[in-house]
Chain A
Amino acid sequence: MTTASTQAPLYDLEGDTSYFPITAGPSSVSSTAEKRRSKKLLASILFSSFLLLSVILLITQSNPKPSTSIDAQSPITHSSEPPSRGVSQGVSEKGFRRISGGVQFSWNNIMLSWQRTAFHFQPEKNWMNGPLFYKGWYHLFYQYNQESAIWGNITWGHAVSRDLIHWFHLPYAMVPDQWYDINGVWTGSATILPDGQIVMLYTGDTNDVVQVQCVAYPANLSDPLLIEWVKSPNNPVLFPPPGIGSTDFRDPTTAWLSPGGDKWRITIGSKVNKTGISVVYETADFLKYELLDGYLHEVPGTGMWECIDFYPVSLTGANGLDTSVNGAGVKHVMKASLDDDKNDYYAIGTYDPIRNKWSPDDPELDVGIGLRYDYGKFYASKTFYDESKQRRILWGWIRETDAEGVDLLKGWACVQSIPRSVVLDEKTGSNVLQWPVEEVERLRKDSVEVNVKLGPGSSVAVAVGSRSQLDIVASFEMDKEAMGEEEEEEDVLAYDCTTSGGAATRGVLGPFGILVLADDALAEFTPIYFYVAKGPNGTLDTHFCADELRSSVAPDVEKIVYGSKVPVLDGENFTIRSLVDHSIVESFAQGGRRVITSRIYPTKAIGNGAARVFVFNNATGASVTASVKIWEMGSADIRPFSSLDHL
């Protein structure tokens, strides 16, 4: 099939019978297609023969029609909306929602109750954020609003689990009942001392709206459920130091040992004007602290650093490390949640405890200006060291991307990500790998496998049954000849997921990937895909994107395209793992080199018989061979703890 431009085309691009109906509006398709069409393309007769071999669904078999007719079936024409300016311009995505189409639409209870996840942690109702934890029985302490599905009245919720997947709700660990935390028991971290004592250091918002640090201990260490907590009579133990704003001093980290081994250090994020900073305190008893000179690190222009995380990773990648480890064979990750753009950023570097300095391996990828843990919605994340399995586990808070009023209607908001193990990526050395904890695989039930070669502009439905709870593992191999051709392409504009227009925008070598939460008519679908194109430095770049533009016909949900470039090394296939759990989809590329978490609110692709999965190839000049395995996932049955659960 050809994408020739100037000659009278044998195949009209828009009218090609195998043209995959992920379309933008007509004008946008032709204009972007024009840009992407190479002037010197060769007819690829080879590909058309492969087309005959693929099972092609959802194409118009009749006369070639212009794409407008395909699009006309859909009430959504997202092409008329300017694409999001994207986070690269420092803009919160939540600020650029566009109203799509004049759809008469109302949420009903079936749609809303479908959104609740089956195996992600969330409380029975209301608002949650900010994970904290202690190992053993895995504990999750989370920020909770007892009163409403919006942020406020922050209390510490508490849940426990044996396996990070099956959680049991316990009574609140701490409520705002002291003058120093009456306006909120905010984020904190646990440190486990060598003698087994647990110290919880947390931020209290005082009656005067000043952020202070406070200490709490388990009332009874012999209670494995750690139900009761006691606030120290010495609270607050830390007030904002001189030069730090009274509302810029929160989220203390887990402590690590000082070089002398006799004291502990913690770091707290803050800002000075628009420079994000981290200050370090040293303490012997967690009650009296000494502020160390200088900042552990600072990055201008990044604003307030919330929920700082600071931890070692091993250069040989296999296991996680205790927070106090340092020395040869170790790098340190510094991470901050940026108040400004609501994303979590991290960088890898070297920690010098004598000088109290951490410096990034690559200053161009410093904290706040470089890599993100997750290119979708993922915030206020923290790690902890799981001694029992020697791994470092990452939790992230995932907000809603629907209208706040709907959160009130449905009575709850926000979920936790599936916990992810974090290690250094030994192959690149410049990023971490995140991967869902292996325990989530215990929820796997029946599976389906598909191996298919997809010609340009084709798709295949995977007969997995129509469940909203899936574990998808997909691997794509692109034919080499096509990649060779791409190198000759000139004047390809740099691709950026966030401004690309999503999977409807076709290129020679992409997009290809999977569609999740798709309904039969493809009125709603969410592509998770790769797009390969020549980058600004002349070599091929791979982009990994999650496209929400057609995820729902509802007008009041966020619909943007998330993603970033992802390194794909020689000899590697393009791999995606995607955990679909109702209204949350967590997708991992190249074994966790890049991750995108999406919130999806379909109105049709829900319930029995409705949610489908496809593999697709919307590239114009390449075939891909897709190998996909999909498991249906059971529920984690997250519920209140009862005496019968005491195992």
Chain B
Amino acid sequence: MKNQQIICLILLTLIIIHQTYADENLIQTTCNNTPNYQLCINTLRASPGSATVDMAGLGLIMVAAVKAMSEQALSAVNSLRKSGQPKLSQPLQRCTDFYNGVLKADVPMAEEALRKGDPKFGEDGMVDAAFEAELCEGAFKGVVAPPPSLSGFNKDVRDLAGVARAIIRNLL
């Protein structure tokens, strides 16, 4: 009896190890097909569920990262507006609009698309999210240099959205 239990335990451990390794392989292969391997790896591994989800699940993790970064970007925009520099006022208002677009349209649509099994609308959402971040950066052109902190967020959202899009394209 005891031998059988030990064998079962060993088998179970092997299965768990294999499964984790296999999923880690999924993450690596997936990230290899994105424009930013390191960002992809770091983001996915940082999410506790990433080891056990499928491709759509990886896509959702990345969309969530886009959402989180966009929320931070929006916070940064709000802080900057409070600082009250007059030249920044219009571009910052534009950035508020753009990031609202990401949070109220792109992210919800991508989540819906991935959850309901029609991923191309997820791709559209992430393409648009990258676009909105670029638009925020572009809103300062010819007026004043974009605040570095905000530029950082704009770049991060663009990069994350680019990775998310690449992951989602695997589902098409």
Closest to B113 in A: A151
Indicate the member of A92, A94, A95, A247 with the most B CB atoms within 10 Å. A95
Which listed residue (A184, A246, A339, A404) contacts B128, Cβ 8 A?
Answer: A404
Find residues 94-131 in chain B having any chain A CB closer than 8 Å to their own CB: 94, 97-98, 100-102, 104-106, 108-109, 112-113, 115-118, 120-121, 123-125, 127-128, 131
A209 partner residues in chain B, CB cutoff 8 A:
115-117
Closest to B108 in A: A150
A105 partner residues in chain B, CB cutoff 8 A:
94
**Number of residues in A with C-beta < 8 Å to the partner?**
39
Contact assessment for A555 and B138 in the assembled complex, using a CB-CB cutoff below 8 Å: yes
Contact assessment for B134 and A205 in the assembled complex, using a CB-CB cutoff below 8 Å: no
Contact assessment for A102 and B141 in the assembled complex, using a CB-CB cutoff below 8 Å: yes
**Number of residues in B with C-beta < 8 Å to the partner?**
41
Known: A151-B109, A152-B112. A403 touches B117 (CB 8 A): no
CB distance from B139 to the nearest CB of A (A): 8
Which listed residue (B93, B101, B117, B135) contacts A211, Cβ 8 A?
Answer: B117
Find residues 294-328 in chain A having any chain B CB closer than 8 Å to their own CB: 303-304
B138 partner residues in chain A, CB cutoff 8 A:
99, 102, 555
CB distance from A401 to the nearest CB of B (A): 10
Known: A102-B142, A339-B120. A404 touches B98 (CB 8 A): no
A405 in the interface (beta carbon within 8 A): yes
Q: How many A-B residue pairs have CB under 8 A?
A: 110
Closest to A151 in B: B121
Indicate the member of B91, B115, B118, B121 with the most A CB atoms within 10 Å. B118
Q: Once bound together, how far apart are the Cα atoms of A556 and B113, in whole Å?
A: 23
Contact assessment for B102 and A405 in the assembled complex, using a CB-CB cutoff below 8 Å: yes
Contact assessment for B101 and A403 in the assembled complex, using a CB-CB cutoff below 8 Å: yes
Closest to A97 in B: B131
CB distance from B106 to the nearest CB of A (A): 5
Q: Once bound together, how far apart are the Cα atoms of A403 and B171, in whole Å?
A: 24
Contact assessment for B101 and A205 in the assembled complex, using a CB-CB cutoff below 8 Å: no
CB distance from A308 to the nearest CB of B (A): 16
Closest to A149 in B: B105
A340 in the interface (beta carbon within 8 A): yes
Contact assessment for B123 and A92 in the assembled complex, using a CB-CB cutoff below 8 Å: yes
B90 in the interface (beta carbon within 8 A): yes
Contact assessment for A247 and B117 in the assembled complex, using a CB-CB cutoff below 8 Å: yes
CB distance from A446 to the nearest CB of B (A): 40
Q: Once bound together, how far apart are the Cα atoms of A94 and B168, in whole Å?
A: 15
Contact assessment for A403 and B98 in the assembled complex, using a CB-CB cutoff below 8 Å: yes
A149 partner residues in chain B, CB cutoff 8 A:
105
Q: Once bound together, how far apart are the Cα atoms of A153 and B120, in whole Å?
A: 15
A152 partner residues in chain B, CB cutoff 8 A:
108-109, 112-113, 116, 121
A339 partner residues in chain B, CB cutoff 8 A:
120, 172
B67 in the interface (beta carbon within 8 A): no
Indicate the member of B120, B123, B141, B165 with the most A CB atoms within 10 Å. B120
| Chain A to chain B: the 4 pairs with minimum beta-carbon distance, closest first | A405-B101, A102-B141, A102-B142, A99-B138
Other than the known A95-B127, A152-B108, A405-B101, what 20 A-B pairs have Cβ atoms closer than 8 Å? A94-B124, A97-B134, A102-B142, A104-B90, A104-B91, A104-B94, A104-B139, A106-B93, A106-B97, A150-B105, A150-B125, A403-B98, A404-B125, A405-B98, A405-B100, A405-B104, A405-B105, A407-B105, A408-B101, A555-B138
Chain B interface (Cβ < 8 Å from any Cβ of A): 90-91, 93-94, 97-98, 100-102, 104-106, 108-109, 112-113, 115-118, 120-121, 123-125, 127-128, 131-132, 134-135, 137-143, 165, 171-172
A-B contacts, 8 of them at CB < 8 A, read A99-B137, A184-B118, A205-B118, A209-B117, A247-B118, A403-B135, A404-B132, A405-B101
